[in-house]
Each structure stands twice: as C-alpha cells, then as structure tokens.
A and B are shown apart, each in its own frame.
Chain A
Amino acid sequence: MNLILAPVILPLLAAMLAVVLRSNLKAQRVISGLVAIALPILSWVLFDTVRNSGVQVLRVGDWPATLGIVFALDLMGSLFVFFGAITFLATWLFLVGGGAGEDSETNLLHPMMLVLVGAVNWAFSTGDLFNLFVSFEILLIASYVLLIHGNGAGQVREGFKFVVLNFTAGMIFLATAGLAYGLFGTLNMAELGVRIHLANYPPEAVVLGVLFFCVFGMKAAIFPLFAWLPDSYPKAPPGVLAYFSGILTKVGIYSLYRLFSLCFPPAFFGEWFQPTLLVIAGLTMFIGVMGAFSQYSFRRILSFHIISQIGYMIFGLAIYTPLALAFGIFYVVHNMLVKSALLLVSDSVIVNRGTDDLKKVTGLIHVSPGLALIFLAAALSLAGIPPLSGFYGKFGFAWEGFNEGHYLTVFFAVLTGLFTLASMVKIWRYSFWGEKQEGPENGPLSRKGVIFAAGFLTSAALVLAATGGWFMPIMKQAGEELLDRRPYVQAVMGSDAAALLDGPGWQEVAQKP
C-alpha cells in the first residue's frame, strides 16, 4: 500500500468538497476538521513506514523514474509532513474555536487552507523539479487569497507586493528548471544529481546551483532577499498568519536542503561557496533579530524572528555534516511548532484588543494567566533556554560549528540567541507584565480555541524536547541519508544509478581542501 500521495490528495479533494459546500460553514468546518485529524495520523504512519523500510517512492503510472512523474518521501520529508500536519491541526482548532474573531470564517477560508496544506505536502514529497514548481505556485496562489482574505486596506496593497515578488521568483524558478532540463536533460532531482555528478560538476552546474539558491532563498527569506516578509506577513488574517509563518518559509528551506545535498553538494562549488553560505547565515540571523529588536509591534517582532530563525537553518546547511543537517531538521520542526504557537497568541491579542502595539497592550498576565504561561514557554523555547526544544538546535549548531572551525558564525548565532531572548523579554515586560488595564474592552483574551490551539502546539514542542533522545538518532539518520544521497537515488532510480555515485563520496569530498 502506497500512502505517499494521501497527504497531498486528501486535503485537495477536501478543498474541492468544501468549495462545493460553500454556503454551509458547519459542513466546511467538519470537512476541514476531519482532514486536520486524519493528516497527523496518516503522516505518522507514513513516517513509520519510511523509518522502517527506507525511502518510499511512487512512480505515477508505473513509468520508469526518468520518464514519468515521481513522488519520493524520505525521512526529512516525512518528518516535515508530520509536523506540518500538527501545525495545521492547531490552526484548525484556533479558527474553529473562534480565536480569529466572530466573522473571520468566510466561505473561502477553509477551502484555501486545505489547498495550502495539500500544496505544502506536495512540495515535501515530490521527486522532480517541475512538480516542485507547480506545488510552489499552488501554495502561493492559496496564500495570496488567504493573505488578502478579510480585505483590510493595507492587506490589498501589501498583498500586491507579495504576489508580484513571489510570482517573479516563481518565473525565475521556472526558467532555472528549464535551464536544468536544457543542460542536463532531466527534471528528476535524483537523476539531475547523478548527471551532474557524472559530468564532474561543470561550471554550468554552479550557475544552476546559484540560481536555485536565489529562488529558494527568496522563498525562505534569507538575508538579502527577505524584504517582502516583514511587511506582508503581519497583514495576514489571524490564525492564517500562524500557519504561514510556521510552514511557508520552511518549504523553501526544505528545497534548499534537498537540492543542495542531492544535486549541488557545497564542496563541489569550490572554496568560495561554504564561506558565502556562512556569511549569509550569520547576516540572516543577525539582521533578522536586529529588525525584531527595533519593533514595537507583537506580530512584526515575531515576523522578523522568522528571518533570524531561517539564518540558523541555513547555518545547519552551511556546516554540511550529518549532525549539522540533523540539527537543522530538528530546528525546522521545532520552529514549526513554537513559531506557530507564539503567533497564535499574538493573533489572539490583536483580535481581542484591536492592536498589537506593545505599549498599548499591557498587563495581560492579570487577565489571561493561562495564555501568558503558554507564551512564556514558547518564547523561552524560541530563545533556546536549555530544557526546551529550541536549545537542542542551537546547541547543535554551536557544537558542530566549533568542531568545523566556523567560530565567527557561531559567535553571531550565540549573539542572535541573546537578542532573541531580549526581544522576547521585551514582549513579556510590556504586554504581559505591567499595569492591568481596566474596562470592559480589556477583558480576558481567551476564547476556548486560542488556549486549546496554542497550548496544543506548545505542549507538542515540550513533547518534542522530552523525546529528543528518541527523535535525534532518526534525524541524524536523515542527515546522513541526505549527505550520502545513495539511499534516495537508489529508491528513485534503482541501485545501478546509485552505484554511479560511488567514487568520491561525501566524506572524501567534505575533506577536500
């Protein structure tokens, strides 16, 4: 039984059904909820299958992998699908529990969320570049609609910028995929990796790699390409924003991890590539956190933090050891949970108080202590305080960074961690502590949905931290498979093709001067 396509098709079919039932909000909620509950179970089963029997592959129509469309799910992909499903479940709880306000559920909200989820899972499980392009476009079209959903004045304008920038990036992605086909005669990622390897990493491959890096870097909001994010994200409607910031940029990170291990191992680019990555990682972290530090709006602080977290993930890729990639995967997963939890809290603040200006909203701890506690746990986890999940990732990056001698970037990573803590303390000090605001409009924040959803995500992050000892070896294996490349290529194209990758393996290459 091959379940790979289920997390893709199920939400998309449900979305169609929900569009048909657009006059019946209750039915839409039920459909969306069934998917939200089914997806974590389904993706856990998938993850378990991948863990026990290796990379799962689906050849559509049973064409040979190099001719037909291929879906392939490895450990990294299945972990992302699972934790993405958990985040969607929390978002659904938030939306249905009334966390986003009374009139927020229009008849487009649930169908578009479902399309978004389906497209995200599609991106995580596809095996070829063109499907990746299509899934990115579907994902973006759904997110365009969600971003301007609600029709605030600022939303349409910022939405416009978001659409134009992402459409342009999509076009460049398309051209790059076409270039890959023109140069190496294939769109299948595994085959592209093998062909580039056999051609012994010619200069064209470097051009291709840099183009891909720019495209996915734009999606992931890395250092010079992040300008669109902090302006457009805070305009997204409540609830939706939490899912956006938890998942969307991570799809870019996933694509970077996938392509830059499978097709363009950094060592083959020459000596300039790794230092460039390290500098980009350091700057992304530091500028992101500096941007956050200077803001006085809850959601804008958190939006800037997305950028600085992306920096850590790029750092994991830049170090390029199995352990660093493993910590990178752990960090992505941790971020999906914690970031979404924080943004759910911030969404609830803006829904209840009409503003998220830290100076205008104070004393929340007096009216909603439960939510304050959830925020505190998630915020400390984001900052990387030891027993919580954020610590593992940051500690891992520092550890591997020191082992590999990237002292300067480690310095920036630690500095960024400090500033992250400082800006979380800032939110805490202004909005949660401080004078209790009197008056009926300053009542408790908590509608059931908020506590439920944010609490669920935060406890999922705590469980992740507690079971880190169980997850970490799996993620290490995922990192090793990424660097080794052969398990993935073998699953997609057979062992003959995988044998072509023998020769200089990653170990020797990584040690190449």
Chain B
Amino acid sequence: MGLMTALLVAILTGGGAWLMMRKNLFELLLGLGLFSHGINLFLMSMGGWSATEEVPLPSDHLTPDRYADPVPMALILTAIVIGFGVTAFLIVLASRGYEETRDVNLGEAVGQEGEE
C-alpha cells in the first residue's frame, strides 16, 4: 500500500509538473489539477495506512485506537475546496486571455508583452 501510494504520488506530481512546464494553457491547467491531486494523495498517506482503520464515526464496536487519523482528511477537504476555487478562477482567466489573443499559447502571449 505504501509503495503503491508513493508511486502514485510520484506519477501524479511528476506528470503535473511536466505539464506545467508547457506553454499551452490547457495543458498547464491539466498539470495543475494533476499536481494538486498528487499533493492531496500525499497528505492522505501522512495519516498512515493500516487495514484495520475505520472511519471515525461513533458506533458500538469501534474503539479509538482503530480510528483512521481524521486530521489529514480535514486538510485534504479544505485543500480540495481551495484548489477547486483557484482552478475555476484560472479557467476563466485562461478563456479570457484566449479571447484577447486568440492564442492558447502562454509563451507567445508573454513574448508579445515582454518588451520591457
């Protein structure tokens, strides 16, 4: 489980970082999404893995030592909300930029601007 998660985190963040290096706005956005998924998965693994852990809801058979750690889950929840908001904002920003320049290429757009 640990190895699987580590590999998944590596693939997600690595792929995300690679996509973020690209000039295409669409690929950049996808890259950001992948990257934040990787980070969220990483946070999940910080709570520790074990097969006996259960969701921390009150019930008769569940003792505190079998709770899954709720803190990383709370962190991920907040992070997902923030990531969602920023991604939505970025999509609007990207489409706005596309309307102005008719170009999905961030590098080109900056090239025109980079006179200073």
Contact = CB atoms under 8 A, between A and B. Distances in A.
Interface of A: 130, 134, 137, 141, 144-145, 148, 151, 153-154, 156-161, 163-164, 167-168, 170-172, 174-175, 177-179, 181-182, 187, 295, 297, 300
A130 B86 CA distance: 18
Name which of B20, B72, B86 has the most chain A CB atoms within 10 A of its CB. B86
A181 B72 contact: yes
9 contacts: A134-B82, A141-B82, A151-B96, A153-B101, A156-B97, A161-B110, A171-B39, A178-B46, A181-B71
Contacts of A130: 75, 78
A157 to B, nearest CB: 5
Contacts of A148: 93
A157 B110 contact: yes
Contacts of A157: 97, 101, 106, 109-110, 113
Given A157-B101, A172-B39, A174-B79, 15 more contacts: A134-B78, A151-B96, A158-B113, A159-B93, A160-B25, A160-B90, A160-B106, A161-B106, A174-B43, A174-B75, A177-B75, A178-B42, A178-B72, A179-B46, A297-B116
B32 A168 contact: yes
Given A168-B20, A178-B72, A182-B46, A163 B89 contact: yes
A134 B83 CA distance: 11
Interface in B46-76: 46-48, 71-72, 75
A130 B47 CA distance: 15
B35 A168 contact: yes
Contacts of A300: 116
B10 interface: no
A153 B116 CA distance: 15
Interface string B18-55: 00100001001000100110010011011110000000
Interface of B: 20, 25, 28, 32, 35-36, 39, 42-43, 45-48, 71-72, 75, 78-79, 82-83, 85-86, 89-90, 93-94, 96-97, 100-101, 106, 109-110, 113, 116
B113 A154 contact: yes
Contact of A171 (B36, B90, B113): B36
A419 to B, nearest CB: 20
Contacts of B48: 182
B29 to A, nearest CB: 9
Contacts of A167: 32, 86, 90
Nearest to B43: A178
A141 B89 contact: yes
Which 4 residue pairs of A and B lie closest in terms of their CB atoms, listed nearest first? A182-B46, A178-B43, A178-B46, A156-B97
B42 A141 contact: no
Contacts of A172: 39
B82 A163 contact: no
B93 A160 contact: yes
A164 B72 contact: no
Nearest to A148: B93
A164 B28 CA distance: 9
Nearest to A235: B113
Contacts of B83: 171
Contacts of A144: 86, 89, 93
A178 B90 contact: no
A323 B109 CA distance: 47
Name which of B20, B72, B82 has the most chain A CB atoms within 10 A of its CB. B82
A179 B48 CA distance: 11
A153 to B, nearest CB: 6
B86 A163 contact: yes
B90 A163 contact: yes
A134 B28 CA distance: 23
Given A134-B78, A141-B86, A156-B100, A175 B93 contact: no
A178 B45 CA distance: 9
A151 B25 CA distance: 18
Nearest to A177: B75
B42 A175 contact: yes
